Structure 1
Amino acid sequence: MTPYPKEPWHLAGQMYLSLWLVPARELPPVADGTRPVTIAGRGAVGAAWVVYENDSVLHYNELLRAVLVRDGRRPRVCVTDIWVDSAASMAGGRELWGIPKEMADFDIDRTTGVRARAATDQGALATASFEPGRRMPGRWPLTYRVTQTLGGALKTSSVRSRSAVRPARARWTARQDGPLGELGRRPPLFSLALDDFTIRFGDAAPGASARQAPTP
């Protein structure tokens, strides 16, 4: 069994994020008991490339897609698809929070702008290019809650983050018969580069058992 850090996870690094408004019929399935937030028949879908580095409890790459949902009247984020290149991250994400992490291979080049590609044995998942613009003043805080299905029930976890922010131009492509096919069908509504972010993911649970990873 793969060891992983107990929650909360303290993570840091770089994120490259895009947001789309997608027709409701194209939205991926979300956690049971939640429903997508829709406006004029469209839902909010975000996708991001993440490089966890610096002071992160684990160092790895990630590609994810998430949907804005409601749990009753409460807005939440539901991660519907996610790939990583760390077995510890995959095991911890699934077992702690019900996040459906899978393994993939990544190629992320940050020498001139950002060029990213992720693939599995079945082929390419997505590619993207980001051209970040001028950095906005300050470091921007963001707090939200992620809701997933874990053990047949809803599991809601807090996320607190802070980062420098740069607007970006982004272009995504995805295999049309793949799980992220709709991301390549239309340009994103907007994109951001979140520089040198810090994230606290999850909630400390005194007395709960969690397997501890060796100190990286």
Structure 2
Amino acid sequence: MPFPSPPWQLSAQMWLSVFRVGETGRPDRPPGVYGAAFVSYEEPGPLTYRELVVARLLDARRRRMRITDIWVDSATSRDGGRVLWAIPKDLADLDLEETRVGPTSHTSFAARVDDAEVASGQFAAAPGAALLRTPFGATTSQLRESGDEVVTPIRGSARTLPALGSWDFAADGPLGYLHGRRPVVSFRLSDVRLRFG
């Protein structure tokens, strides 16, 4: 098999923002609550790669979401996500840079597809302040081309704290429906331990 068998036990760092999105002009991207995250998957997980992901909240009570847009810089992750869980992963160039000034980390990231920027962002947070590890759980609901639904559990924990986050989505790009929108809230999740599947 060209990718790890499920479940995937992953380690990561994550920068996450939540957006309230009104009319988008796109029937396939209805109004609602969306989350956008840049993720860096690291050792000792079975795969190391970067990811830009956008998901729409389907059911807050059941914590169910649908991944609408996602790019990775690993063909192995792309193929595994598509085959195992019907996640529509595509490939992109994903850049990440993090610097520290005193206790504060400053992170910038960018995603480019065919040399065209899709999104970029900047976060500032004090990750050393996130001493407590908090658990989280959710499910993804994805649709295969046949129309069959694939529901996948996500479980994990992370050291989480609020952050100052800003994003720039290319107006003429695939995330143009988020262009000009400001996050309601942003978080920096460090030392993420994630079980997908």
Q: Return the TM-score normalized by structure 2.
A: 0.89
Alignment RMSD, CA only? 2.1
Is the aligned partner of 1:64 residue 2:39? no
Distance between the aligned counterparts of 1:133 and 1:147, measured in 2?
Answer: 33
Amino acid of the structure 1 residue aligned with 2:33: A
In structure 2, relative to structure 1, the CA distance for the partners of 1:120 and 1:25 (3 Å cut) is closer
Which of 177, 183, 186 is the equivalent residue of 1:191?
Answer: 186
Which of 43, 55, 64 is the equivalent residue of 2:32?
Answer: 43
Which of 115, 119, 125 is the equivalent residue of 1:126?
Answer: 119
Task: Provide structure 2 residue ranges, at least 5 long, that are not aligned to the other structure.
Answer: 101-105
Is the aligned partner of 1:17 residue 2:16? yes
- 1:110 is paired with a residue whose SS is strand
Amino acid of the structure 2 residue aligned with 1:10: Q
Matches within 5 A, 1:1-216: 3-25=2-24, 29=28, 42-70=31-59, 74-112=62-100, 113-121=106-114, 123-133=116-126, 135-150=129-144, 151-202=146-197
Distance between the aligned counterparts of 1:6 and 1:168, measured in 2?
Answer: 34
| CA deviation vs aligned residue, 1:40-62 (integer Å, no higher than 9, x gap) | xx511000000000211100000
Amino acid of the structure 2 residue aligned with 1:61: R
In structure 2, relative to structure 1, the CA distance for the partners of 1:45 and 1:119 (3 Å cut) is same
Report how far residue 137 of structure 1 moved. Answer: 4.1
Distance between the aligned counterparts of 1:27 and 1:188, measured in 2?
Answer: 20
Q: How many residues are treated as equivalent by the alignment?
A: 190
Report how far residue 70 of structure 1 moved. Answer: 3.9
Distance between the aligned counterparts of 1:69 and 1:169, measured in 2?
Answer: 26
Amino acid of the structure 2 residue aligned with 1:97: W
Distance between the aligned counterparts of 1:75 and 1:193, measured in 2?
Answer: 20
Distance between the aligned counterparts of 1:157 and 1:49, measured in 2?
Answer: 20
Distance between the aligned counterparts of 1:121 and 1:15, measured in 2?
Answer: 24
Report how far residue 149 of structure 1 moved. Answer: 0.8
Distance between the aligned counterparts of 2:17 and 2:26, measured in 1?
Answer: 16
- 1:128 is paired with a residue whose SS is strand
Task: Provide structure 1 residue ranges, at least 5 long, that are not aligned to the other structure.
Answer: 31-35, 37-41, 203-216
In structure 2, relative to structure 1, the CA distance for the partners of 1:137 and 1:24 (3 Å cut) is farther
Asked if 2 retains the 8 angstrom alpha-carbon contact of 1:27 and 1:43, the reply is: no
Q: Return the TM-score normalized by structure 1.
A: 0.82
